[in-house]
Amino acid sequence: MPKREFTKRALQNAGYCIFDASCVQEALDIIKREKGKFDLLLSDVVLPDQSGLVLMHQLKIINPRIKIIFSSGYTDQKAQWEIIHTEGIDFIQKPYSFVDLLQSVKKSLQSIPVK
């Protein structure tokens, strides 16, 4: 099973509402359609059409409170470690387990400030 499908099913089975997108443009279309009402973006750093960092910056304009978790299997410059570290973005290295995924999501969601 592809990692994206595994992640989607795992999070749905844990009770999370998931919107699945394969690229930045598709994600932005969903985000705009849903008026930015998301608590968390889990995205690969490297996407087919643009960088996950581009998606993050565009999403932060729509919803500055959203939490971000990036994931990557790359260990070179494609992973953009320096930017991720500098901006304090949560990160989960591929391949990851179901337990690691849920822990990462819970940790990020717990850090959302109360309105």
At 33-82, the pLDDT tens digits run: 999 999 999 999 989 999 999 999 999 999 999 999 999 887 666 657 78
Residue 115 has pLDDT above 60, yes or no: no
Stretch (H or E) spanning 113: none
pLDDT band, very low/low/confident/very high, at 86 (cuts 50, 70, 90): confident
Helix intervals (H) in the chain: 3-13, 24-33, 52-62, 81-86, 98-110
Contacts of 36 (CB under 8 A, 6+ apart): 59, 62, 63, 66
Stretch (H or E) spanning 18: none
Residue 30 has pLDDT above 90, yes or no: yes
For the chain, the domains span 3-110
Superfamily holding 3-110: Response regulator (3.40.50.2300)
The pTM of this model reads 0.88
Q: Please state, in angstroms and rounded to a whole number, the distance separating the CA atoms of residues 77 and 98.
A: 26
